[in-house]
Structures are given as structure tokens and as C-alpha cells.
Homo-oligomer: A and B are copies of this chain.
Amino acid sequence: MPNSEKTEIVRDKGPEARPLDTFDRTILGELAVDAGLSYAELGSRVGLSAPAVHERVKRLRATGRIRGTVAVLDGPATGKPFLAFVHVDTTGGSKSRTFRALAELPELEEIHSVAGDTCTLLKVRCASSRALEGLLARLYAMPGIKATRSYVVLSTYLERTPQAGITEALEEPPMDEAPR
């Protein structure tokens, strides 16, 4: 199972990283689904030896393609069966201070600044609707919070971390008005 750091630090290449060949993308695809694979198994799936995939995974970590490996907890099974998305309207003000305070709560899973009819989108997972109420109360106690609109999740059909695959077909020009 691909270990975190532990190997000597490989200098972060930053933006000068190469463009991800097929091997890399296959490795990423496998690890995004199950990071508990042995290098031998991973190697046989992508068609490389264990040391070779080890080298590539090390590089994928060093270049920031892999941010880390985590255990995925089950919300309901760990006491937080209640999931909601909260749109927030804010008036100007120091959003980063507010966000930092929110991020302290383990109930907050995502905080995005979005374009649309609201400013901010939160993903909240908590124990009950009462806990959401408590969270909203805290929200309104913060400066610059104008309004919220909550979407309570009734059932979840899919929930996963970023995947490696890219559907090329989505990029095709939608209209046939010859770009040039």
C-alpha cells in the first residue's frame, strides 16, 4: 500500500511537471478508488513492475497530483447522518476570517466561493437537523451574513473524490459555427 512521504523528499517540480501519460493516469484512476493496493498488484494492473509504479507514485505525490491518502468515513455510521448544502449571501467583509472559523468545525466539509445568485456554498454534514439549526445560528452571528438557503439531502446516489478520467467528448464544439 502506497505509503505517504517516508521516502526522501523529491523536489516539487511545480508547474514544470510532465503532462501525465497513460500509465500515470491509470495509476491515478486505480488509487483514487483504492489506495490500499500493493505496488505489485498496481503494477500488474497497469503493466509495470512494482519498483516502476513505486517510482511513478512517488513522483505523482511530489508533483502534487496526489494530495494525500485518506480513509473515507461513512457519515451515518459515524454519527452524522444529516447532510445539507447551504448557500450563503454575504455582504462585503473579511470572508477569509469567517471561513477560517467555519473550517474549524468538523461538520464543515466544503467551503466554496461561487458565481451565481449567491456568494458562498457550504457542504455540511452533522448529527441532526437540530445541529444544522445550531450551525445556521452561528452563521448568522457572524458579521456580513445576509441570508442563507439550505438544501437538505434526502438521498445520495454518488459521492466520491476527484477521479482521474476525462471525457474528451464533452469538449467537442457544441455548435457547428466553424470556430475559424
Interface residues of A (CB under 8 A from B): 1-4, 6, 17, 20, 28, 31-37, 63-75, 77-80, 83, 85, 87, 96, 99, 102-103, 105-116, 118, 121, 125-128, 130-135, 137-138, 149-167, 169-174
Contacts and interface: CB of A to CB of B under 8 A. Distances in A.
Contacts of A80: 162, 166
18 contacts: A2-B36, A2-B71, A31-B70, A34-B70, A66-B72, A68-B71, A69-B71, A72-B162, A73-B162, A85-B114, A103-B158, A107-B163, A107-B166, A111-B158, A111-B159, A115-B152, A131-B167, A138-B170
Contact of A171 (B110, B128, B156): B128
Given A70-B70, A72-B68, A99 B1 contact: no
Contacts of A127: 166, 170-171
* Number of copies of chain A assembled together: 2
A69 B28 contact: no
B73 A28 contact: yes
Contact of A111 (B96, B126, B150, B157): B157
A78 B165 CA distance: 9
Contacts of A152: 114-116
A70 B164 contact: no
Nearest to A78: B65
A128 B65 CA distance: 18
A80 B31 CA distance: 17
Contacts of A79: 20, 166
